[in-house]
Amino acid sequence: MASDRPIGVFDSGVGGLSVLREIRRELPHEDLLYVADSAHAPYGDQPLAAIEARAIAIAEFLLERDAKALVVACNTATGAAARLLRARYAVPVIAMEPAVKPAVATSRAGVVGVLATRQTLASAKFSDLVANHGGAQVLTQACPGLVERVEAGDLEGEGTRALLAEYLEPLLSRGADTLVLGCTHYPHLAPLIRDLAGPEVQVLDSGLAVARQVRRRLAEAGLLAPPGAGRDFFWTSGQPARLRRVMERLWGTRIELWPLGEGVAAPGLARDPDPSARG
């Protein structure tokens, strides 16, 4: 298997860019393919079977583009479909795990608050994670509506602030001094979360840990890319023209964003993308 093949990364939308950012830092030589499944966000409100179907469709798309590994940059899709993807495909599948373990280990108050989607909090994977890391009280808070705010690019508006304040209050009032961002959309709101929670509260996510895990898995398999500048490729099932603005803001540079839709040819890596399909 050639080590210069790309890494495929996906999320229900733009949230996984918070993970992609860490992968790009950790692995500068790799080509990265990112799919934002924004037409189907939020996954957290969908039945399990629908999330599984999306995960398989996107995995197939990435593997057709020669992905040598898959990164599920979505906690909700991890709970719903990571095991399925691992059973189905031979490439390494790296998935999310909310940072409960480091939070429990470092909380001075012994009270940790986890913010995530309803689906993630209800998953067996999450219950096991909490059960296996005792030693602190773990409070949970589902945050319906937050993913939609991030998808809309509303990272600091009054509505987003009010929603976050409502979700943080039950955790902070019960003494949480450590907050775990258990959804990859939420690190994009970290400045606002820090502002609302105050400087005494530490805010953790798992982007860096996942990026390191990707590096470890590729190294073990002899699949780290040879030196060279890695390239980034982006697709969305949502509206490219609108999402490109949101994604460029989150990613920090201009990007080309390709439609991932029925009947629309998506660019491969080998040939130049069709400029007429540009969003």
Catalytic residues: 74, 183
Measured from the CB atom, is 21 or 185 closer to ligand DGL? 185
Measured from the CB atom, is 57 or 277 closer to ligand DGL? 57
Among 111, 147, 163, 189, indicate the residue that binds ligand DGL (CB under 6 A).
147
Distance between the two ends of the chain, CA-based, in angstroms? 33
Q: Taking CB under 6 A as the criterion, which residues in 115-134 touch ligand DGL?
A: 117, 120
Q: E strand or H helix at 10, and its extent?
A: strand 7-11
Among 8-16, 101-109, 209-217, 245-253, which window interacts with ligand DGL (CB under 6 A)? Answer: 8-16
Using CA atoms, how far residue 75 sits from 3, 43, 65, 102, in Å, is: 27, 10, 24, 17
Measured from the CB atom, is 120 or 160 closer to ligand DGL? 120
Measured from the CB atom, is 186 or 258 closer to ligand DGL? 186
Q: Taking CB under 6 A as the criterion, which residues in 21-80 touch ligand DGL?
A: 41-44, 74-76
At its nearest, how many Å lie between ligand DGL and the CB of residue 212? 18
Q: For residue 222, count other CB atoms closer than 10 A to its CB.
A: 8
- Which residues does residue 8 pair with via DSSP β-bridges, in sequence order? 33, 70
Q: Decide if 208 contacts 228 (C-beta within 8 A).
A: no
Using CA atoms, how far residue 253 sits from 10, 188, 230, in Å, is: 19, 15, 15
> In the structure encoding, which two tokens stand for residue 222, read together?
């002899």
At its nearest, how many Å lie between ligand DGL and the CB of residue 159? 18
Helices (H), the chain: 17-26, 48-64, 75-88, 100-106, 118-122, 124-132, 146-151, 158-172, 190-197, 207-220, 240-251
**CB hemisphere CA count around 160 (13 angstroms):** 21
At its nearest, how many Å lie between ligand DGL and the CB of residue 125? 12
Among 183, 218, 225, 250, indicate the residue that binds ligand DGL (CB under 6 A).
183
Among 107, 160, 178, 184, indicate the residue that binds ligand DGL (CB under 6 A).
184
* Binding track, positions 193-232, relative to ligand DGL; x by CB under 6 A: ----------------------------------------
Q: Which residues bind ligand DGL (CB under 6 A)?
A: 11-12, 15, 41-44, 74-76, 117, 120, 147, 183-185
